[in-house]
Amino acid sequence: MSQSEKSRGTEEYAKTHMEESRHLPIYQHRDELIQAVRKNTFLIVTGETGSGKTTQLPQYLYKADLCRHGGIGITQPRRVAAITVAQRVSQEMGVRLGKEVGYQVRFDDCSTKDTVIKYMTDGCMLREILADPSLTQFSIVILDEAHERSLNTDVLLGLLKKTQSKGSHGRKTTLKVIVMSATLETEKLSSFYGNCPVFTIPGRTYPVKEKFCNLIGPKDKDSSVYVKEVVKMALDVHTNEVTGDILVFLTGQSEIEKACDLLFNKAEVLDYRYDVHDRAVEGLLILPLYGSMPTDQQRQIFQPAPKGVRKCVVATNIAATSLTINGIRYIVDSGLVKQLNHNSSVGLDILEVVPISKSEAKQRAGRAGRTSAGKCFRIYNKEFWETCMPEYTIPEIQRTSLTSVILTLKCLGVHDVIRFPYLDCPEERFILTALKQLYQYDAIDRRGEVTKLGRLMVEFPLPPNLTRTLIKAATLGCEDIMLPVAAMLSVENIFIRPGKSEAQKEAEIRHKEIAACAGSSNDFLLLLSVFEKCKASDNPSSWCKDHWIHWRAVKSAFSVETQLREILYRLKQQKDFPHETFVGSRSELLRQCLCLGYFTNVARRSVGKSFCTMDGHGSTVLIHPASCLFGQELQLDWIIFHDVLVTSRVYVRTVCPIRYEWVKDLLPKLHEIDVYELSSVAREEVTDAEMAQWDKKEAAKRQAEAAEDTAKKLEKRNNESSITEARARYLERKQNRLQRKDT
């Protein structure tokens, strides 16, 4: 295609999209909306999902010349949404993605300094504030999908309230803040921002018939059960209902891929190495949709199916509000969602499958009524609805670990992390746990001040344990080992584990081979081997296929590694970057570095093959069968682990054996600091005098402990005798008085 033909193609594309966008509900209200933004510093915009908020409003504001001082930053809780929406808007405007319209998500920045409309994940916006607290590069910040109440969005809501009210850093507050949300909780948001106006875009929806299909009940939590039922239901809809596309709500990537396989093969499990996507089966086009999906596949979701073919999108909750797919008339709802929750019995955040809330179920059903009347098939029964599903979804900030967020807040100078303006306060104990962890990682000191190490840690878009490990490795000059490991742990699913038994065996053998020939005596080292072997191979994708490894995941790990390396390189340029030396083997080096980040996840072998965690919870855990250490438990004593899987038992995955000496000095840190002290460092009212008092108290306590037992006894006896003497003197005086009275 010649250049001019190409540009004509783009122009036509833009024209069609422009035509389409005129039919969106938001179009009627664009002038009023622009006026409202001009007039207000804070504005809430709500409207049905699909009314055009995310794609249209930034364009209106741009065209109305409202971003003269800087661009428009629009946050999304999910990376797929940020990417696909940016693609769409660049097409609508007829510009190249990454120029006027761009996106920025973790480990992938597709924007330049000329980018005016920038879609970004809320995590990236948080990093932006960290680099520049008054957000000078933006005229307008739009917090989109606020009803999702993601952890980072909640923190941004508070931060923007704080910066705006203070007009911080001497900047005159020209920055405008727009919060967009589906129709939930608008009053609460408005009162949070001093009763700012709420702009409601009247929706256009059609009735949706909701039906309980009674295929699963409260006890059916096993994925093999609900995946199968969802597939059956979808096939049922396909055979019995008139035209219209199907949207299936499932839990996560692996379940979605399983369901797509089943749908394709109608209950015969396929060989996983086939690329299952994008194949039409008897008039059914099966399309998976999940957060970590590769960009080229995302685009197909929005394209209409060919004539006579029905589209069936199998998606995570992402399709509930973040992305609107046109043409959907049927919903198949599993009633479940994968959610990160803090598990207090294990003391860790765990990704688990839980029932959705009733309000979420209504939102899912509503997706069927966008273009005409629709139907929603709930695979669960009424009992499930009544007993398992809460009314509303609890915001993430109230159910997950706050460690990274609290460090970010501290680095931004928010000392009082307990009375920070949260839309919904997290429980104080969660904040205290986060502070405790940061203290354990040496990211903050006893006074709650960020340390030099903490300032290095906040630069990495990784959880604190990985960051701590990485920095330690860099200090020892061996980041080449840790960078790939950190990258591999940041992407999803490296190993293909097929369900079918022969395939499963073959995969296991292949994985063991890699482990054996690399001498991989632990799972972290195995990840490093996969990374290095794949990188060194002439044809990495076929190497992955041969070894039952997800090439896509490894490919993104390559890119993550490069980016982490860049951050580290920049930090190492600093004069005061710490340096230490180490003598020992590569494997030992890796294991010792890991201890610095994972001493919170230490376990010691107890009875038989089970281990006992050392974090104060003393939970009993088992090594997961997928670990390369499975079966060798009896030869192990101390281990660290990356994550936990809770079924009827608690399993640890990605495991590494360590020596007690390496964690001996670190373990006391798990119990050292007390909650009272922490809750006070979390509040602003702590004065230096109070702090000095604690220091004194602490010193006195230590002194007392150090004193000899005998000395204590002696002191006690002295005390006792002095009390006896005083008592005697008192009695004597009393006696005298009585005698005087008598005479």
Decide: 87 and 301 in contact? Cβ < 8 Å: no
Q: Which residues in the 65-84 window bind ligand CDP by CB under 6 A?
A: 84
The residue written with tokens 């379940």 in the block is 255
For the bound state, the minimum distance from the C-beta of residue 16 to ligand CDP, rounded and expressed in Å, comes to 11
For the bound state, the minimum distance from the C-beta of residue 86 to Mg ion, rounded and expressed in Å, comes to 13
Task: Answer with the entry of ligand CDP, Mg ion, none that 153 interacts with (C-beta below 5 to 8 A by kind).
Answer: none
Contacting residue, 33, 37, 72, 85, with ligand CDP by CB under 6 A: 85
Residues 6+ apart with CB under 8 A from 217: 380, 381, 383, 384
Closer of 50 and 123 to ligand CDP (Cβ) = 50
140 pairs with which residues across the strands?
Answer: 72, 176
Task: Answer with the entry of Mg ion, ligand CDP, none that 302 interacts with (C-beta below 5 to 8 A by kind).
Answer: ligand CDP
Give the separation between CA 617 and CA 344, rounded to whole angstroms: 9
Give the separation between CA 703 and CA 285, rounded to whole angstroms: 74
Among 33-41, 53-61, 329-337, 404-412, the segment contacting ligand CDP (CB under 6 A): 53-61
* Phi-psi label, residue 351: left if phi above 0, alpha if psi -120 to 50, beta otherwise: beta
For the bound state, the minimum distance from the C-beta of residue 37 to ligand CDP, rounded and expressed in Å, comes to 16
Per CB under 6 A, 50 contacts ligand CDP = yes
212 pairs with which residues across the strands?
Answer: 378
Give the separation between CA 614 and CA 670, rounded to whole angstroms: 9
Q: Which residues in the 44-63 window bind Mg ion by CB under 5 A?
A: 53-54
Residues 6+ apart with CB under 8 A from 727: none
* DSSP-derived 3-state class of residue 331: strand
Closer of 56 and 408 to ligand CDP (Cβ) = 56
Task: Answer with the entry of Mg ion, ligand CDP, none that 52 interacts with (C-beta below 5 to 8 A by kind).
Answer: ligand CDP
* DSSP-derived 3-state class of residue 296: helix
Per CB under 5 A, 317 contacts Mg ion = no
Q: Which residues in the 164-193 window bind ligand CDP by CB under 6 A?
A: none
Among 50-58, 72-80, 464-472, 636-644, the segment contacting ligand CDP (CB under 6 A): 50-58
Of 277, 280, 367, whose CA–CA distance to 317 is shortest?
367
Contacting residue, 29, 78, 79, 88, with ligand CDP by CB under 6 A: 88
Task: Answer with the entry of ligand CDP, Mg ion, none that 596 interacts with (C-beta below 5 to 8 A by kind).
Answer: none
Task: Answer with the entry of ligand CDP, Mg ion, none that 317 interacts with (C-beta below 5 to 8 A by kind).
Answer: none
Contacting residue, 29, 45, 53, 141, with ligand CDP by CB under 6 A: 53
Per CB under 6 A, 55 contacts ligand CDP = yes
Q: How far apart are the first and last CA of the chain?
A: 128
Q: Which residues in the 166-225 window bind Mg ion by CB under 5 A?
A: none
Of 621, 652, 616, 657, whose CA–CA distance to 639 is shortest?
657
Closer of 53 and 415 to Mg ion (Cβ) = 53
Phi, psi of 349, deg, nearest 5: -80, 130
Binding-site size, Mg ion (CB under 5 A): 2
Contacting residue, 46, 49, 522, 600, with ligand CDP by CB under 6 A: 49
For the bound state, the minimum distance from the C-beta of residue 21 to ligand CDP, rounded and expressed in Å, comes to 7
Task: Answer with the entry of ligand CDP, Mg ion, none that 490 interacts with (C-beta below 5 to 8 A by kind).
Answer: none
Query: Which tokens hold the place of 369?
Result: 């009524």
Q: Which residues in the 315-354 window bind ligand CDP by CB under 6 A?
A: 324, 326
Give the separation between CA 175 and CA 168, rounded to whole angstroms: 11
Contacting residue, 36, 43, 47, 627, with ligand CDP by CB under 6 A: 47
Give the separation between CA 56 and CA 27, rounded to whole angstroms: 8
Continuous H helices in 537-579: 540-546, 551-572
Dump strand ranges (E) for 115-259.
Answer: 117-121, 138-143, 176-181, 198-201, 208-216, 245-249
State the residues that interact with ligand CDP by CB under 6 A: 24, 47, 49-56, 84-85, 88, 302, 324, 326
* Site residues (vs Mg ion, CB under 5 A): 53-54
